[in-house]
Each structure stands twice: as structure tokens, then as C-alpha cells.
Amino acid sequence: MGSTPVIRTADFEKEVLQAEGLVLVDFFAPWCPPCQRLEPELEKVQAELGDKIKIVKLDVDQDEPLSLVYNVQKIPNMTFFRDGKVLDQYIGLLPKRDILKRIEALAEPAIS
């Protein structure tokens, strides 16, 4: 697949739960056509937002127990985390603009 890093259960705590800021975990499977179509959209989001968000992928076939912990029953599944907590979850394929809208809605409010 593309350049979005694929993590395993052993890395999940460090890469997602202990990460600072917003993290998007794409629960996917290599055989899933919608997952394959989502990959370039996620790459565009990462390119546009840079270090404002961390995007990683987790293969549901290789890490099924972790997928069950987060109630991933259908893929693609984008789960958004901050401070180790799930903020939002979206099942299905979205274009870049809609992913950006979801991220914007989850952004921490600006401090005035």
C-alpha cells in the first residue's frame, strides 16, 4: 500500500494512546477495495496537515484482538484519538475534503 505507516498491536500504546495531539487510526485490510481507495485520500490529508495530525494504519486481519477492543466491525474504519481516548469513529470511504471537515470539527478550540 502507500506511505502511511502500518503499526501493530505492540506499537499501538506508544504510537496512538500516548501520542500528543490528534491521531487518526485507519483500521484496514489489504484485500479491501474501499480501504485501497482511502489510502491516497489519507496521504493527501497528511501532506496538507503535516504534524497537526498523526495518521497510522492497523491491519484488522493481523491485529484482530485490538480491532475488537475498538469495536471495528466494518472497514475502512477511521477512528480518531486524543490523549488515549476515542473522539470519533467513521466507517466507510471519505474524500479528502470530508476527512478534513471531520478533523476540523475535532480540533481543540483555540485559546483566546
Which residues are the active-site residues?
Answer: 32, 35
68 and 87 in contact (C-beta within 8 Å)? no
Q: Quickly tell me which residue has 472497514 as its cell.
A: 75
Please report how many Cα atoms fall inside a 13 Å half-sphere around the Cα of residue 88, on the Cβ side.
14
Q: Who contacts 32 (Cβ-Cβ below 8 Å, separation ≥6)?
A: 75, 76
Strand 53-59 versus strand 6-7 pairing type: parallel
